[in-house]
């Protein structure tokens, strides 16, 4: 979705291809720095944009800050057009930083899980949520193992259903 938003000159043309956002509170958008739509495996870095529709804020988490800031800003502006409302863009410079050039995708997955389970779903409805990831340690090797475990679980479930 974020790639379509970045590449499309008029985001309103995407309305029929995207979900109805009227009853959604948050959108999680992995952001990639690929600028060539004809290269499926293009790009070299992933970051995360979490848009709080209810608060009108787009939070950007980049583990190689500020690598994907331009892509995240463009996605936010085009999402504003699609949603018909202004969004405040917050580039969270306190996001956990990776120590190599290969963990960005793992960081995005671990951050999504943490933000969803530990922040959004565990905070009472009327309470304000601190969306900062400052001080959060991302253990990439553990994250990779957990992702593999989840994938293996889905594979086994698929086998079980086919038999």
Dihedral angle of Cα 139, 46, 76, 136, to the nearest 10 degrees = 10
- Is 65 marked active-site? no
Instruction: Give the Cβ contact number of residue 17 at 10 Å.
Output: 9
Q: For residue 49, give the 3-state DSSP assignment.
A: strand
- How far apart are alpha carbons 68 and 105 in whole angstroms? 13
Question: Which residue among the candidates 34, 45, 60, 91 is catalytic per the annotation?
Answer: 45
In sequence order, which ranges of the chain are alpha helices (DSSP H)?
2-7, 69-83, 104-113, 140-162
Which of 62, 91, 103, 109 is labelled catalytic?
62
Residue 104 annotated among the catalytic residues of the structure: yes
User: Using CA atoms, how far apart are residues 108 and 61, in angstroms rounded to an integer?
Assistant: 8
**Which of 33, 34, 91, 104 is labelled catalytic?**
104
Instruction: Tell me, yes or no, if 62 is annotated catalytic.
Output: yes
The residues assigned a catalytic role are: 45, 62, 104
């Amino acid at each position: 979705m974020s790639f379509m938003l970045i590449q499309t000159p008029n985001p309103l043309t995407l309305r029929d291809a995207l979900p109805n956002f009227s009853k959604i509170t948050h959108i999680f958008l992995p952001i990639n720095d690929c600028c060539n739509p004809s290269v499926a495996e293009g790009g070299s870095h992933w970051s995360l944009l979490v848009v709080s529709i209810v608060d009108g804020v787009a939070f950007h988490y980049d583990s190689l800050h500020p690598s994907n800031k331009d892509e995240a800003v463009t996605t936010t502006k085009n999402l504003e057009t699609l949603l018909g409302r202004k969004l405040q863009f917050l580039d969270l410079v306190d996001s956990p930083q990776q120590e190599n050039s290969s963990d960005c995708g793992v960081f995005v997955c671990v951050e999504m899980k943490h933000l969803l389970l530990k922040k959004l779903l565990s905070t009472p409805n009327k309470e304000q949520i601190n969306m900062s990831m400052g001080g959060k340690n991302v253990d990439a090797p553990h994250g990779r193992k957990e992702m593999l475990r989840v994938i293996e679980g889905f594979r086994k479930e698929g086998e079980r259903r086919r038999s």
